[in-house]
Amino acid sequence: MTETPDAAERPFDPGLQPERTLLAWQRTVLALAVAVAAGVRFAAPLVGAAAVILGAVGFSLTLAAYIGVRYRYRRMHAELRDSEALASRGAWPFAALAAATGALGVLAVLCVVGLGVTT
């Protein structure tokens, strides 16, 4: 006898579009976290503690974005399953992702400035 999934866990969309979107955002956030770590790795010897601090800020923002997109997906899934309509929500996970990208950009600038000073 096969068990049917609980109604709360059963996907709303047979094509699983919300799940694909969640996976795409998770990959984006993971790639940004790896880029921040690489930025810290290359900038730290050149500019010191500033790179580590910016890396910690960038990594914290990517972690917040990861948690935010997971939370947003679960909320969307529940709303679609219960009422087949979505309420308007804030976009703070995407703002955190943009801020982490900005921190990565500052790391890159610090790295370039540090290279110019050492040569």
Q: What does the pLDDT read at residue 85?
A: 61
Question: Does position 68 have pLDDT exceeding 80, yes or no?
Answer: yes
Question: Does position 22 have pLDDT exceeding 70, yes or no?
Answer: yes
pLDDT in tens, 83-109: 766 666 677 777 888 888 888 888 888
CB 44 within 8 A of CB 52: yes
Is residue 3 situated within a structural domain? Answer: no
Question: Does position 49 have pLDDT exceeding 60, yes or no?
Answer: yes
**What is each CA distance from 115 to 40, 42, 53, in whole angstroms?**
14, 10, 19
Is residue 101 situated within a structural domain? Answer: yes
CB 98 within 8 A of CB 75: no
Is residue 8 situated within a structural domain? Answer: no
CB 101 within 8 A of CB 65: no
Is residue 12 situated within a structural domain? Answer: no
DSSP-derived 3-state class of residue 108: helix
Q: What is the pTM of this model?
A: 0.67
| Euclidean distance between CA atoms 92 and 97, whole angstroms | 9
Range(s) of the domain holding residue 47: 17-118
Is residue 110 situated within a structural domain? Answer: yes
Per the structure, the count of domains in the chain is: 1
Q: Confidence class of residue 1 from pLDDT cuts 50, 70 and 90? A: very low
Is residue 107 situated within a structural domain? Answer: yes
Is residue 55 situated within a structural domain? Answer: yes
